[in-house]
Amino acid sequence: MKIDEAIERLVTKLQEDQQEDGSWQYPFEAGTFTDAYMVILLRTLEQDDETLIQALVNRMLRLQEENGAWKLVQDEESGNLTTTVECYYAILYSGYVKKEDPRMKRAKTFILKNGGLEQTTLLTKFVLLLTGQYRWPSFFPVPIELILLPIAFPFNLFSMSVYGRAHMVPLLVAADKKLEVKTARSPDLSDLHGHSRHDPFLEWAEADDSRKLHGTIHYLVKKVTDLPEHLHQLAISRAKQYMMSAVEEDGTLFSYFTSTMFMIFALLALGHSKKDPLIQKAVNGLNSFQTTVNGHPHIQFTTASIWNTSLISYALQEANLKPEDPTIKKATEYLLDKQHYKYGDWVVHNPAVKPGGWGFSTINTIQPDLDDTTSSLRALTASALNDKDIREAWKRGTTWTSSMQNKDGGWAAFEKNTDSRLLALLPIEESKGILTDPSTPDLTGRTMEFLGNFAHMKNNHSILKDGARWLKKNQQKDGSWEGQWGVNYIYGTWAALTALDAADVSSKQSTIVKAVKWLKSIQHDDGGWGESCLSDRHKHYKSLAASTLTQTAWAVDGLIAVSDFPDKSIRDGIRYLLAHIEKHPWTEDYPVGKGLADRIYFHYHSYRHFYPLLALAHYRKKFKNV
């Protein structure tokens, strides 16, 4: 297949898949954990949506391995303990499969062989705690009074990431009440405890450091308030107020599945009935996250419509669709309608700037992120040249973007300067990934690429210079960069290379030379690239057994950005894309999006279409005469 033909086919495919409102609604697949949690939540609330519950159970059963386990990712060796516990629990709670079923017996054997409930990860332990399947510690190390500490303190609610707050606030309410909600249908998981007395959760909760943390927070709160006798009730009221202020129109908390689920448990802890309208609206919101994957219903973590729409519109324009093309006009109108006008939590650390960003999901109105903002701005740039209203929206978004640079020179996902060293040191499993929002190579890279190539910021501007300095400082020894929201070193390296090119960093500088050498060294024999999610577990690059279209497109696009001519690596990568665009091997269902390292990965069904299109379009644009 020729490049022009491949581009035309991909453009046609994307045009056909556009929705009437101008958006693209490809599935945002989250493995099995959201399906499992949905079943557990519905059974806990005694909302017997049997059609949905049975369909979700069937999907989980289809994904069970022969040994009884479930995997987090396809190339995991035998199975994943946490994922298996989640599916096992949900399927038993559904009532459609009994413990005596051979599939459940094999799952139980796998769970016990791998340490039992004690060795599951923190998110799952909280689900087990809230539904009466695990023991609350004698006290929770982080008291709810934390919410009363002013932002001037080095440790406070707003020193953690908004993602951390979205989950921590409802959990603090539930933990304060030691909430346990069991029903007549609750399965008995007491036989899933391991034989070892080692329990990371209880050890953390009851450790001396945790007791000191608990005492310190209480001491500080009493020092700064005039109502010490009412502290506890005041903290609970503030927590509820925070949650209610962050509820989106569809009833979800920050439009995330897990934070909404925890909010529902927090409301139960506060005395709301299971039939309360707030709870019902939240459940309906989660129901709206339904999509279809391989003919089965699946509950998405959220919707990815802004991300998909902005990236696809940009890729189509790089493939020479004009702003006045009906496809682009509809996408532009959709994106303009989704720009934020409300102040969100980000204003706490960046009070002098007006709203202007974009969020990830359809209904997100208060939690913008840098990725979706720069992606939307790229898609609007050409239209802004000839339309005053679009230009004003573009300027507002660009101002917000540049103002969100961290003091270290990089950019984070959601907020500014929320990378507290104190929070990262907390003895909480996954605390760095959950509670902090540090500068990352992928966010820094794509923001710089937008500012340099689309906002035409001069390369000697302090913003770009500081960003380039941050990237150089945070390069891995092998020449790569680690990605935060994609898998993983290929993702981060692609973003960094395109950023350095946009900042006019010479391709002869050692930073770029090392990165290019590394990318070429991991290219597969078939000309493609493929990286395993297990890179996170191993803390270094781990090759996938086969190449993927998306990761090949990332690698090729990065090399194109910093190359003056298409060498063998680039040409081989292009050949791989052309040969595989219409094929669908197992790697095209492999997740290359990341939510939380070694815990939450996402399969974007849109990526296989628009990322190859982008790489091919950039190749044609730069090397058409070579």
Active site residues: 371
In degrees, to the nearest 5, what angle opens at C-alpha 399 toward C-alphas 397 and 405? Answer: 105
C-alpha distance from residue 248 to each of 256, 286, 291, 563 (Å): 10, 12, 20, 45
C-alpha distance from residue 33 to each of 40, 91, 299, 408 (Å): 11, 12, 9, 35
Burial class of residue 447 (count of CB atoms within 10 Å of its CB; 0-12, 13-18, 19+): buried
C-alpha distance from residue 436 to each of 15, 114, 217, 220 (Å): 38, 30, 19, 22
Q: In whole angstroms, what separates CA 297 from the centre of its chain?
A: 21
**Cα-based torsion angle of the residue sequence 257, 540, 570, 566 in order, rounded to the nearest 10 degrees:** 120
| Cα–Cα dist 80/32, whole Å | 12
Q: In whole angstroms, what separates CA 559 from the centre of its chain?
A: 26
Instruction: Give the start-end residues of each E strand in 230-380.
Output: 290-293, 296-299
Count the helix, strand and coil residues of the chain and give each as a percent rounded to the nearest 5. 55, 5, 40
90-115 burial: b if 16+ Cβ within 10 Å, else e: bbbbbbebeeeeeebebbbebbbebb
Structural contact between residues 112 and 194, judged by C-beta atoms closer than 8 angstroms: yes
* Contacts of residue 351, Cβ cutoff 8 Å, sequence gap at least 6: none
| Cα–Cα dist 97/26, whole Å | 31
Query: Which amino acid is located at 96 in the chain?
Result: Y
